[in-house]
Structure 1
Amino acid sequence: MVENLDVNGYTYFRILSYSGARKSEILALKWSDIDFDTSILNISKTLTRGLNNKIIMQPTKTVNGRRVIDMDYDSMKLLKLWKMYQAQFMLKLGFNTNTPDQHVFANTRNNFYSINVPNDRMRNVQKRNGLKQITVHGLRHTHSSILFSMGASIKDVQARLGHTDIQTTMNIYAHVKKEEKKDTADKFAKFMEN
């Protein structure tokens, strides 16, 4: 685990990275949105700024944004561990988190995190550990790029990411293919030089 990232932060960034979901969708997750038996996340809500810059929860912008995301075993195991840890920690603060409406990621007042918190935490970890800078949204792009490089179809990636317009997904695919072509040219040149 990266230094200076607590269990909450590690869990958040693991789920964000391995799901391909938007940061505001992960911040809006409630425990009732997670099915541990089938290893899925039900994405149907997002956090956004409302009147007077207040953070509010609302349905995803589009029907395609409402989706089910299959998750891997280790991510689900981590979520179970986080749920137990959260219950113990929040109980010390006077909150009972054993309700279906409990937010998976909540601040010490048992409310939503600010939408900026993931960005701030990521910059902090990158700075302290000398890591290359990548945005939180960049994790979503990386997720889709890896899926494409592993042979996932454009339609499957579109569904997983919740893109309404397939052109958005195609733009990522084209970017990946361009990088693969460059990599192929470099490999050929290296072979010829040896």
Structure 2
Amino acid sequence: MAFFRKRGEKWEYRISYVDRRTGKSKEKTKGGFKTKKEAQVAATAAEADLNYFGFDENGNEKVEKYFNEWLEVYKKPYLKPITYSVQERNVRLNILPRWGNYRLKDLTRSEYQKWIIELRSHYSEGTVRRIHSIFSTAMVDAVHEYNILRENPIQKIKIPKDTESKEKVQFFEKNELEQFLNSVAKPIKNAKYKHSIQYYALFTLLSRSGLRIGEALALTWDDINFDERTINVNKTLVYPLNSTPYLSTPKSKKSNRVVKLDEETISLMRKHRVNQKEVILMYEHYQPSKDKVMFHQHDGRWLRTNVVREYFKEVCKRADLPILSPHALRHSHAVHLLEAGANLKYVSERLGHASVKVTADTYLHITKKLEDDALDLYNKYMDRTKTGQA
């Protein structure tokens, strides 16, 4: 219940409530309101928070209880399932084992900074930044949303940077890609579904479109327009470990896009559609997909990402090539486009990157080489001009 009184020219409220964890009666008081009405509105909101969250005042709540509530209220309803699972796992495996029994008010910047340095001895800079981001965001909400801390206790934390340069993206050179695809096209001896060209179609599509593996595996035959030679990318397949696969929205807003295909790839996709029907008729246990999935397992379900990766590795071995991952085909497409002289903005939009900067940063070594080549051409042109004038 809330009580109100005027102190000088300002109003204040006092709320009596029972702490859920201890069962003890407590009070919360706040003043400085210009009118009684303002105090009443604020008191109503405060009562709702106390009834909903049930946290101790002044940061006495345990970190574990706070994080569990915070994930449910501020994260789970607003994040994609796969994103939420990553954040929940970081909280459960990294944050709570170290800080779960602490009270929020006992968190100190110096002890937290030591922990961050310790984390860097086990994890990459990017991973530690993600863990810190989750923790810091939760503390900001403890201040501004829950009003149980006066300030974020882990502000201005320094994360040791990687001393080594970033690893270059992995891709196939033009001749290597041709060697890889030729190897995929050859049927594997003693293969169960030898007549199927599914993997050849899938890997060719990835290498000629720049699609992410999840985007490709989510495709249905309704997503391709053979007349206009386009594929509509509007979903991605998420295959969590030991969990049920599901369709989600693309990685970013710009990942939702229409990708133009070359005539050769469109022709192969036509063959794949016919071949898929032939395989279903040819093999007794090979079932069609109820959702008209473009690439699917023998029982009609989506292809598993880990199965595709393993098949990819086997092809790399057969072709006597470096053992990469299917994502290397996306990188290969981007690199080959840039080397062919494609505009960086076009490549960025085709890949569905959030910004051109992402593309430039990802393929920095390629763009730098292209810049050097362009300057060489410019210098040669200027030298010829001078000679002509002479």
* TM-score tier (shorter): 0.7 to 0.9
CA drift of 1:172 comes to 3.2
Name whichever of 165-174 and 105-114 sits farther off: 165-174
Taking the aligned partners of 2:310 and 2:275, their CA distance within structure 1 comes to 23
Is the contact made by 1:4 and 1:125 (CA closer than 8 Å) also made in structure 2? no
Query: Matched residue of 1:41: which SS?
Result: strand
- For the pair 1:73 / 2:263, whether they are aligned, the reply is yes
CA drift of 1:73 comes to 0.7
In the alignment, which residue of structure 2 is the partner of 1:49?
239
When residues 107 and 166 of structure 1 are mapped into structure 2, their CA distance, relative to the original with a 3 A threshold, is: same
In the alignment, which residue of structure 1 is the partner of 2:207?
17
- For the pair 1:119 / 2:273, whether they are aligned, the reply is no
Taking the aligned partners of 2:344 and 2:286, their CA distance within structure 1 comes to 47
CA drift of 1:135 comes to 2.0
In the alignment, which residue of structure 2 is the partner of 1:82?
272
In the alignment, which residue of structure 2 is the partner of 1:131?
321
Structure 1: runs of 5+ lacking an equivalent: 185-194
Return the letter of the residue paired with 1:7. Answer: I
CA drift of 1:43 comes to 0.5
**Which protein is bigger by CA-based radius of gyration?**
2
Taking the aligned partners of 1:139 and 1:94, their CA distance within structure 2 comes to 28
Taking the aligned partners of 1:159 and 1:119, their CA distance within structure 2 comes to 26
Taking the aligned partners of 1:23 and 1:78, their CA distance within structure 2 comes to 18
CA drift of 1:181 comes to 7.1
When residues 49 and 75 of structure 1 are mapped into structure 2, their CA distance, relative to the original with a 3 A threshold, is: same
Name whichever of 27-36 and 86-95 sits farther off: 86-95
Equivalent residues, number: 182
When residues 7 and 41 of structure 1 are mapped into structure 2, their CA distance, relative to the original with a 3 A threshold, is: same
Taking the aligned partners of 1:107 and 1:68, their CA distance within structure 2 comes to 26
Taking the aligned partners of 1:183 and 1:116, their CA distance within structure 2 comes to 39
When residues 130 and 33 of structure 1 are mapped into structure 2, their CA distance, relative to the original with a 3 A threshold, is: same
Indicate the percent of aligned positions where both proteins have the same amino acid: 31
RMSD of aligned residue pairs (Cα, Å): 2.3
Is the contact made by 1:25 and 1:45 (CA closer than 8 Å) also made in structure 2? yes
When residues 153 and 114 of structure 1 are mapped into structure 2, their CA distance, relative to the original with a 3 A threshold, is: same
- After superposition, give the CA deviation of every residue in 1:66-98 in whole Å (9 maximum; x if it has no partner): 10000011111111111011012224447456x
Taking the aligned partners of 1:138 and 1:36, their CA distance within structure 2 comes to 26
Return the letter of the residue paired with 1:33. Answer: D
Return the letter of the residue paired with 1:127. Answer: K
How do 1:25-36 residues align onto structure 2 when only pairs under 5 Å count?
A: 25-36=215-226
Is the contact made by 1:123 and 1:133 (CA closer than 8 Å) also made in structure 2? yes
CA drift of 1:139 comes to 1.4
Return the letter of the residue paired with 1:53. Answer: S
Is the contact made by 1:141 and 1:172 (CA closer than 8 Å) also made in structure 2? no
Return the letter of the residue paired with 1:143. Answer: H
Structure 2: runs of 5+ lacking an equivalent: 1-181, 189-195, 375-390
Is the contact made by 2:280 and 2:287 (CA closer than 8 Å) also made in structure 1? yes
When residues 127 and 96 of structure 1 are mapped into structure 2, their CA distance, relative to the original with a 3 A threshold, is: closer
Higher relative contact order (CA 8 A, sep 6+): 1
2:296 to 74, 91, 106: 106
Query: Matched residue of 2:253: which SS?
Result: coil
When residues 94 and 148 of structure 1 are mapped into structure 2, their CA distance, relative to the original with a 3 A threshold, is: closer
Name whichever of 170-179 and 103-112 sits farther off: 170-179
Is the contact made by 1:148 and 1:173 (CA closer than 8 Å) also made in structure 2? no
When residues 94 and 118 of structure 1 are mapped into structure 2, their CA distance, relative to the original with a 3 A threshold, is: closer
Return the letter of the residue paired with 2:211. Answer: A
When residues 85 and 115 of structure 1 are mapped into structure 2, their CA distance, relative to the original with a 3 A threshold, is: same
Taking the aligned partners of 1:182 and 1:124, their CA distance within structure 2 comes to 37
In the alignment, which residue of structure 1 is the partner of 2:227?
37
Query: Matched residue of 1:53: which SS?
Result: coil
Query: Matched residue of 2:335: which SS?
Result: helix
In the alignment, which residue of structure 2 is the partner of 1:7?
197
Taking the aligned partners of 2:365 and 2:327, their CA distance within structure 1 comes to 16
